[in-house]
Amino acid sequence: MKQHWWKILAVLILFYTFFVGLLVPLKPGVIAVSPDSAKSGEEVRLEIQGYNTNFLKGSKDIRAWLKIGEDRSIPSNNILVKGDELMYAFFQLPNFLPVEAPVTEVSLIIDNPIDGAFVLPSAIFASQDQVNANQGKLLWRTGNINGLHELDQMTYPFRNILQESIRNMYFHVPLWFGMIIILLGAVYCSARYLSSGNRLHDMQAVALTQVGVVFGLLGLLTGAIWAKYTWNAWWSFDVKQNMSAIAVLIYMAYFVLRSSFEDIEKQSRLGAVYNIFAFAALIPLLFIIPRLTDSLHPGNGGNPGFGGEDLDNTMRMVFYPAIIGWTLLGVWMAQLKLRTEQLQERLSWDDA
C-alpha cells in the first residue's frame, strides 16, 4: 500500500476535479442586453437577460447602474422584473458623456441581496452629438455605486462568452500541462539511455511518450469542443490549434521512425535522439510562435490568458490539483504500459 499512495492520490484528486469542477455553480451574470446602443439625453429601457439570477426573489432590493470608466456612473430610474432571469432597467442618460469621444463603451452593474453584485463589461455603446467631458463628469457622478452585496457561496466566475464551458479549464488545460511534464520525463529517460545504454530507460521513454501523445490528442479534442462553443467552429485554423496539431504529429512520427528499423539498438538510439529534439521543437510551437502572431486563443497573439476574474481563487482550488491529478494518472498509465512491454518481451524470450 505504501508504494501505491500516489496512485490513490491521483484517483482522489481526479474524483475531486470531476465532482467539484462540474457541480459548483457559476456566479450570476448577464447573457444579453437589448438594445446594445443608446444616445445621450434620451431615456433608455434595457432588456436584461440573466443567468443563474434571482431577479424575482430579490426584486424588492434590486439595483442597477450604468458605468463609464473607473468611477463615473448613473443609477437606474426604475426597474421592472419579469422573472428570475428577465428584467427591464430604465435609465435617463445625461446630455453629455464624461469622455472626450463621440462614442464610448458603458458597463452594466446589477446588485441584489440574493445574487450579490455582478457586471457586464461593454454592455452598450453610448453616443453623444456634442462633446463636453467636463460637463459630463458633473452629470456622471462618482460614489453612486455603494453598499454592494457579496454572494455567500462557492461559485465559479460567469463569463458571457464561455458560460458553462469554463469548466473545461479543469480538463483541456491540465491535459496539456500533464503532456508537457510527461514528455519532459521521456526526454530525461532518453538522455539516460544515451548515456548508459540501459534498455530499461528506452522502454520508459517509449511508454511516457505514448501516454504524452494520448494526452495531446485528448487536449486537441477537448480544445475543439471548447472552440465549437466559444468560436462557433470545431477547427478555425487558429495558430495555436495549428501549432498544437503539428507538435502532436511530430511526436507521432517518433513511433514511425522507431518502426522503420528492425535492429532494437538502432531503434532505441535514434528514437532517443529524436525524442530529445522533438521536445526542443515542442516549446517554440506551443509557447513562442502563437505569441508572435494574431490568435484567438487566450495567452497568445496579444489575447490575454486566464487570470483575475477568469481564473479566480475558487477555480485555482480545482485547476492546480487537476494538473497534479492528470499528471499522476499519466505516469500510472506509462507504468502499466512499461510492465506490459516487459511481460511481452519476457514471453518472446521464453518462446525463443
The angle subtended at Cα 125 by Cα 124 and Cα 130, nearest 5°, is: 145
What's the mean pLDDT in 98-127? 93
pLDDT in tens, 251-294: 999 999 999 988 889 999 999 999 999 999 999 999 888 888 88
End-to-end CA distance of the chain, in Å?
36
pLDDT score of 3: 75
pLDDT score of 48: 96
pLDDT score of 310: 55
Name, of 95-99, 157-161, 295-299, the range with top average pLDDT. 95-99
pLDDT score of 302: 56
Identify the band that residue 297 occupies on the pLDDT scale cut at 50, 70 and 90: confident
Q: For residue 59, with 0-12 CB atoms within 10 Å meaning exposed, 13-18 middle and 19 or more buried, which class applies?
A: middle
Q: Classify 174 in phi/psi space as left (phi over 0), alpha (psi -120 to 50) or beta.
A: alpha
Higher pLDDT, residue 300 or 84: 84
Buried b (16+ CB within 10 A) or exposed e, 294-326: ebbbbbbbeeeebeeeebeeebeebbebbbbbb
Lowest model confidence (mean pLDDT) among 73-77, 202-206, 263-267, 327-331: 263-267
Q: Give yes or no for residue 74 having a pLDDT over 90.
A: yes
pLDDT in tens, 11-65: 999 999 999 999 999 999 999 999 999 999 999 999 999 999 999 988 889 999 9
Average pLDDT, whole number, for the chain? 90
Lowest model confidence (mean pLDDT) among 68-72, 92-96, 274-278: 68-72
Cis peptide upstream of residue 75 (ω within 30 degrees of 0):
no
What's the mean pLDDT in 331-348? 88
pLDDT in tens, 134-151: 999 999 988 888 889 888
pLDDT score of 305: 57
What's the mean pLDDT in 288-305? 73
